[in-house]
Amino acid sequence: MVDSDAPGLQARESLRERKWERREIENYLCQPETLVAYARRQAEVDCLGPLLSTASAEVAALDMDESIPRFASPAALDNPDDPYWKTIKASSDFLERVFKEYSTKRSSPLQMRKADYPLLVSLIPDHLLSPEIREALDMIHATQQHAKPLTTEQGNG
């Protein structure tokens, strides 16, 4: 899978390439609900004990909820199917900016960087998980099922 704005796909028998329908893979991770879930979970992890974890998680969720609208289209905030969510360069034009704003609100160092974005996958609500993600995983699984291990001679060639 490659970003939708990547140059043409390669056509080789041993390689199946496909472009994401959205601009980049991060566009599948940037739902406001996912980011609020991240804030809640991170606050619970950072909290010093169970007595304060719920209150801390709610404050963190509010901080994230206030950070998101600064960088998202108002129409997109009301519609998860808005084209904004598919076309924005989510990694740098949205997620990076939201997490910086969120860290500033929390008076804490930036904890979520691009290399950490895969951590958001487990926080995507099921109803917002794109069928395209499942299709890509099925495609990878099917390829793996038909793969033949390299022999030592093939690997050194």
Q: Does 141 fall in a domain?
A: no
- Looking up tokens 């979520």, which residue turns up? 112
Domains: count for the chain = 1
Q: Which amino acid is at 72?
A: A
pLDDT tens profile 101-141: 999 999 999 999 999 999 999 999 999 988 988 888 888 88
Q: Does 136 fall in a domain?
A: no
pLDDT tens profile 16-51: 777 788 999 999 999 999 999 999 999 988 876 665
Residue 88 belongs to what domain range?
25-129
Name the most confidently modeled range: 1-10, 50-59, 124-133. Answer: 124-133
Q: Considering the chain, what percentage of its residues have pLDDT values greater than 90?
A: 59
Is the torsion defined by CA of 67, 71, 76, 82 positive or negative? negative
Q: Does 49 fall in a domain?
A: yes
Q: Does 1 fall in a domain?
A: no
d(CA 117, CA 41): 14
Would you say residue 76 has pLDDT above 90?
yes
Q: Does 95 fall in a domain?
A: yes
Q: Does 9 fall in a domain?
A: no
